[in-house]
């Protein structure tokens, strides 16, 4: 991509970003790439230096970097794998969404990031019980997982609400960055918290303490709490 954008012999206007007398080296940057001069909504090009399931680090100048969060890289019809075609070393055209000191929050040009900051989920109170939402798995444990609805807001899913079936290894079924669809089942506005269910029926699984939810032959997950000569006591999870 560099060869296409900068053919040999082409003239470009640059500004000096750093000088190293010992190495006799001068770092140059293209116009509009001075981080201090960038405004919200500005377009800027950078190089992808690190790609993870949830974000891409973009080098804008020698020592200046920005971040593209996964929810700010969604193209129409490609929500399940926003970073699928991005690799390290690739030149990306981005739009500035937010400044956090020297850190820039970026969005990919031509994606939902350009619909405007008003579309970004920021507060739990903006959602409703029963509302269907989409997001990306942030992390998972034996007790449930967190789902990123945006770079500002993350929802929680209890273990029993991850699936209609028993999950022996939830971290395998819900790897980091996986695209999921769910439904809002609880909102705590004053704490900016959202609880989701990812169950296919859109409902909530019975609490582990409810004996009526257990049938002969079911496989349950729990932790040993006490041992006796006649057996063991187990606290069921979920």
pLDDT attached to residue 118: 43
Residues 160 and 76 both lie in one domain: no
Residue 231 falls within a domain, yes or no?
yes
Q: Is 170 left (phi over 0), alpha (psi -120 to 50) or beta?
A: alpha
Query: Tokens 């000569």 — which residue?
Result: 229
Higher pLDDT, residue 34 or 108: 108
Residues 32 and 66 both lie in one domain: yes
Residues 237 and 128 both lie in one domain: yes
Cβ–Cβ under 8 Å, residues 180 and 198: yes
Neighbouring C-beta atoms of residue 89, cutoff 10 Å: 10
Quote the tokens at residue 223.
Answer: 């932790």
DSSP 126: G
Report the CATH number at residue 201: 2.40.50.140
Dist CA 34 CA 61 (whole Å) = 7
DSSP 236: E
- Reduced to 3 states (helix: H, G, I; strand: E, B; else coil), residue 203 is coil
DSSP characters over 46-100:
EEEEEE-SSEEEEE-SSS-EEEEEGGGSPPTT-TT-TTTT--TT-EEEEEEEEEE
Residue 212 falls within a domain, yes or no?
no
pLDDT in tens, 133-172: 999 999 998 778 999 999 999 999 998 899 888 888 889 9
Residue 213 falls within a domain, yes or no?
no
The predicted model gives 120-134 an average pLDDT of: 90
Residues 80 and 167 both lie in one domain: no
Residues 105 and 38 both lie in one domain: yes
Cβ–Cβ under 8 Å, residues 125 and 187: yes
pLDDT attached to residue 30: 60
pLDDT tier at 125 (50, 70, 90 boundaries)? very high
Residues 132 and 237 both lie in one domain: yes
Opening angle at CA 49, ends 44 and 54, nearest 5: 90
Residues 69 and 83 both lie in one domain: yes
pTM above 0.75, yes or no: no
Residue 78: which domain range? 2-116
Dist CA 177 CA 82 (whole Å) = 10
Total of domains in the chain: 2
Identify the bridge partners of residue 182 per DSSP, sorted by sequence position: 133
pLDDT in tens, 165-196: 888 888 999 999 999 999 999 999 999 999 99
């Amino acid at each position: 991509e560099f060869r296409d954008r900068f053919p040999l012999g082409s003239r470009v206007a640059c500004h000096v970003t750093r000088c190293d007398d010992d190495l006799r080296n001068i770092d140059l940057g293209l116009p509009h790439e001075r981080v201090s001069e960038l405004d919200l909504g500005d377009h800027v090009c950078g190089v992808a230096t690190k790609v993870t399931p949830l974000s891409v680090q973009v080098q804008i100048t020698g020592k200046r970097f920005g971040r593209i969060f996964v929810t700010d890289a969604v193209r129409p019809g490609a929500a399940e794998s926003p970073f699928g075609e991005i690799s390290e070393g690739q030149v990306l055209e981005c739009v500035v969404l937010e400044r956090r000191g020297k850190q820039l929050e970026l969005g990919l040009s031509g994606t939902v990031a350009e619909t405007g900051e008003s579309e970004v989920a920021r507060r739990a109170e903006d959602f409703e019980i029963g509302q269907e939402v989409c997001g990306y798995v942030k992390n998972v444990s034996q007790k449930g997982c967190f789902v990123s609805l945006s770079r500002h807001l993350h929802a929680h899913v209890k273990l029993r609400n991850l699936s209609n079936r028993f999950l022996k290894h939830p971290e395998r079924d819900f790897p980091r960055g996986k695209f999921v669809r769910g439904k809002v089942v609880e909102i705590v506005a004053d704490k900016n918290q959202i609880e989701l269910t990812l169950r296919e029926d859109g409902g909530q699984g019975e609490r582990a303490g409810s004996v009526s939810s257990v049938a002969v032959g079911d496989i349950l997950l729990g932790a040993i709490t006490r041992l006796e000569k006649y057996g063991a006591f187990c606290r069921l999870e979920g």
